[in-house]
Amino acid sequence: MIPAISEYEGMSITFQVTEDCNLRCKYCYEIDKRPGDLPFEYAQKFIDIILEDDDPISAKGTDNEWILNEGLILDFIGGDALMVPELLDKIIQYYQYKAVSLGHRWAYRWRASISSNGTLFEKPQVRELLLKYKNSLYVGVSVDGCPEIHDKNRVWKDGRGTMKDIQKWWDWYIEWIGQDWATTKATCNKDTIPYLYKSIKFLHEEMRLKQIHMNFIFEDMHLTEGDLRRLDQEMEKTVAYILEHRHDLHVSMFDKAFGIGEPMSHPDKNWCGSGSMPCLSINGKIYPCFRFSPNTMHSRKLDFYVGDIWHGFSHKERFEMVRQQTRQKISPQKCLECPVESACAWCIGGAFAEKGEFYRPTNICEVHKLQSKWAHKYWEEYDKLEGTKSFDERGLVIL
């Protein structure tokens, strides 16, 4: 398996530029889509707050302090953020102006990032934006797999599938970003299971992707024993395919860092960067990450904000509160004792959105166990073929 593309490291700030979306993906965690875009003046004020505060996320003196000394990532989400390309352009322009005016350490150390559904490249304004910021902008496109599964879940408002619409401008996207840098964020649910192998093959051979980031949703999929047996079979075929294409393909589900599980070794850590990625919502409030945004909450009464554009970070302590939801603190006993705990992802914001409290969801434990099983088998076979060593004398993975 080829290495994953190196990510730009630094502090990430998110602009939720719209609560609307041109699609209605069936598994989407943004459960309350509605018309409404981020006022540009809110974005300006958010940038001012970030750049004028020496420690905007209360990271100094914590394990997260290193983030402040790296670059800055301007992350844009929606809906689909490319629905409002002119707004994105204005935000990036203002950021550059403000950072340079302040002589800020991030003035020339920044990148912009967008995750798109891939249906909006036909808009001239979108292509102009991407060409303008080609050297500073990364765009990943969400393609879930072969047309049978993609068109079942990633649909227009009238229920039509979107694969053909993505393919119309796919060549343009590949040429713009370069084939070695093109990636997808494929989302899997119960419907995906029978198509897992076919989807990897399609994404690699038909969509010409070398980098495939793929994960199952965190919500309860109500999987049966039959579903898990079929997933086991599909993962076996998928791993055989990745081995065959190991010199030009990376699939995150089976890589060493994400796929191979080991017993809990870092009890004081959490899973992701939530609590260090402030997100501005269209309502002017700032949240610990985008999964705390109002349109993801199962109840709009849940409002765990860390500040707003009028008063700044008035609840900074909530950043640390989120970061303190560690493995040891919120894991049930079965996680503490699980032999593949380290490969088990969870979303602390998604958990809060569902119940209004912090806890570790365990809906996809069995999926993670299969993922770890086949990731381990992949690297065992890889070592035989390549003469490498992926595990130490204790059987632990060598990253």
Indicate whether 70 belongs to any domain: yes
Report the distance separating Cα 295 and Cα 34, nearest Å: 8
pLDDT of residue 265: 86
At position 229, the amino acid (one-letter code) is: R
Residue 334 lies in a domain: no
3-class DSSP state of 12: strand
Crossing angle of helices 196-205 and 225-244, rounded to 10°: 30
Percent of the chain with pLDDT over 70: 100
Strands of the 279-280 sheet, one edge to the other: 250-251, 211-216, 183-188, 137-141, 110-116, 71-77, 10-16, 279-280, 285-287, 307-308
Chain segment 120-132, per-residue pLDDT in tens: 999 999 999 999 9
Q: Answer whether 262's CB lies under 8 Å from 396's CB.
A: yes
CB 45 within 8 A of CB 308: no
Mean pLDDT of the chain: 95
Are 154 and 162 in contact, with CB atoms under 8 Å apart? yes
Tell me if 355 is assigned to some domain.
no
User: What pLDDT band is residue 157 in, cutting at 50, 70 and 90?
Assistant: very high
pLDDT value at position 257?
87
Residue 102 Cα to chain centre, angstroms: 31
Q: What is the mean pLDDT of residues 32-55?
A: 96
Q: Is position 393 within any domain?
A: no
- Which tens digits make up the pLDDT trace of 236-253? 999 999 999 999 999 999
In this prediction, residue 6 carries a pLDDT of 86
**What domain range is 170 assigned to?**
10-221+243-259+271-320
Strand 285-287 to 307-308 pairing: antiparallel
For the domain that residue 195 is a member of, what is the CATH number?
3.20.20.70
pLDDT in tens, 183-223: 999 999 999 999 999 999 999 999 999 999 999 999 999 99
Q: Residue range 368-395: average pLDDT?
A: 95
Q: Look at residue 138 and give its three-state secondary structure.
A: strand
Mean pLDDT of the 320-349 span: 93
Domains in the chain, number:
1
Out of 75-79, 173-177, 194-198, 390-394, least confident range: 390-394
Residue 366 lies in a domain: no
Task: For residue 387, give the DSSP letter.
Answer: T
Comparing C-alpha atoms, which of 195, 190, 191, 193 is closest to residue 220? Answer: 190
